[in-house]
């Protein structure tokens, strides 16, 4: 199902497209239950000043509170009137290098599916691929203007909504770098190097979800849930001791060991 239908424009070139979600959430749904009656608990939308009378969905509208208990009502037609034709399309404003965009700005991603003008779509796709560029654009999705990054991955075009700069909050961490000594830093680097490799997302599974599914099956069968067995994790207060024991557990004794692992990994990838 298309989330958005419109067009991408760069210069005077228009490419009609639709956006399709690139992810699905594999969540396990639980209902809210009254533990006394085992009956489902429902959420009702009620009118605050009407004796908590339930309000039907078709009678609910959007209102902006400009003073205490005073509202102006906005309909879908009102929002459409505010939009310009430019707001209804995705207008590329600049092309940048992917490395310039901090991942903290990324929000949601969609596949860009052409719905006509395939030649123009492929032209944009090829040019962006050859130049390793990401397109920055703006458009109104629903009732909110969104900053957008259009990028190419594996020969396909993706669109990601971005947070605006004023939506990113400052990092509250305030620690002086000088508090780390060189010996500790070298040991930390050895640990990181020995644990380094390529990102292989297909190897990561939602193990907790699987345990929840197993627990559900046990409950249905009238069995008790068995506590998950865990490895005993040693707690070490001294940082240097923790670093040294971590290296020992990783079978890393010195820089030569790490160097050999790195060279071996490079030969396999060649």
Tokens coding 55: 């309000």
- CATH classification (class only), 2-25+81-167: mainly beta
pLDDT of 77 higher than 60: yes
* Half-sphere exposure of residue 194: CA atoms within 13 angstroms, side-chain side: 20
Is residue 270 very low, low, confident or very high in pLDDT (cuts 50, 70, 90)? Answer: very low
Percent of the chain predicted with pLDDT > 70: 91
Which position has the token pair 């123009």?
Answer: 120
| Residue found by looking up tokens 């395939």 in the block | 118
Q: Give the least confident one: 31-40, 95-104, 228-237.
A: 228-237
Q: Does the pLDDT at position 230 exceed 80? A: no
pLDDT of residue 103: 94
**Average pLDDT estimate for 191-211:** 87
Structural domain boundaries of the chain? 2-25+81-167, 179-193+237-260
Whether 48 has a pLDDT exceeding 80, the answer reads yes
β-pairing verdict for 13-21 and 33-34:
unpaired
């Amino acid at each position: 199902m298309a989330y958005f239908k419109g067009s991408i424009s760069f210069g005077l070139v228009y490419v009609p497209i639709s956006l399709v979600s690139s992810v699905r959430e594999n969540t396990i749904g639980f209902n809210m239950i009254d533990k006394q009656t085992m009956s489902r608990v429902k959420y009702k939308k009620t009118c605050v000043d009407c004796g908590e009378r339930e309000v039907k969905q078709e009678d609910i509208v959007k209102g902006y509170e400009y003073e205490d208990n005073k509202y102006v009502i906005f309909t879908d037609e009102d929002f459409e009137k505010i939009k310009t034709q430019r707001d209804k399309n995705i207008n590329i404003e600049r092309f940048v290098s992917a490395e310039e965009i901090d991942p903290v700005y990324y929000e949601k991603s969609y596949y860009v599916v052409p719905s006509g003008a395939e030649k123009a779509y492929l032209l944009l796709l090829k040019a962006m691929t050859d130049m390793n560029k990401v397109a920055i654009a703006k458009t109104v999705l629903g009732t909110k203007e969104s900053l957008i990054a259009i990028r190419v991955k594996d020969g396909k075009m993706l669109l990601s909504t971005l947070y605006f700069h004023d939506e990113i909050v400052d990092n509250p961490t305030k620690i002086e770098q000088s508090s780390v000594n060189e010996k500790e830093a070298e040991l930390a680097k050895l640990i990181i190097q020995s644990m380094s490799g390529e990102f292989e997302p297909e190897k990561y599974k939602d193990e907790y979800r699987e345990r929840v599914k197993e627990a559900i099956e046990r409950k249905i069968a009238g069995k008790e849930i068995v506590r998950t067995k865990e490895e005993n994790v040693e707690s070490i207060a001294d940082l240097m001791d923790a670093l040294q024991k971590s290296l020992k557990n990783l079978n890393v004794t010195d820089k030569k060991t790490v160097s050999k692992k790195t060279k071996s990994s490079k030969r396999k990838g060649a």
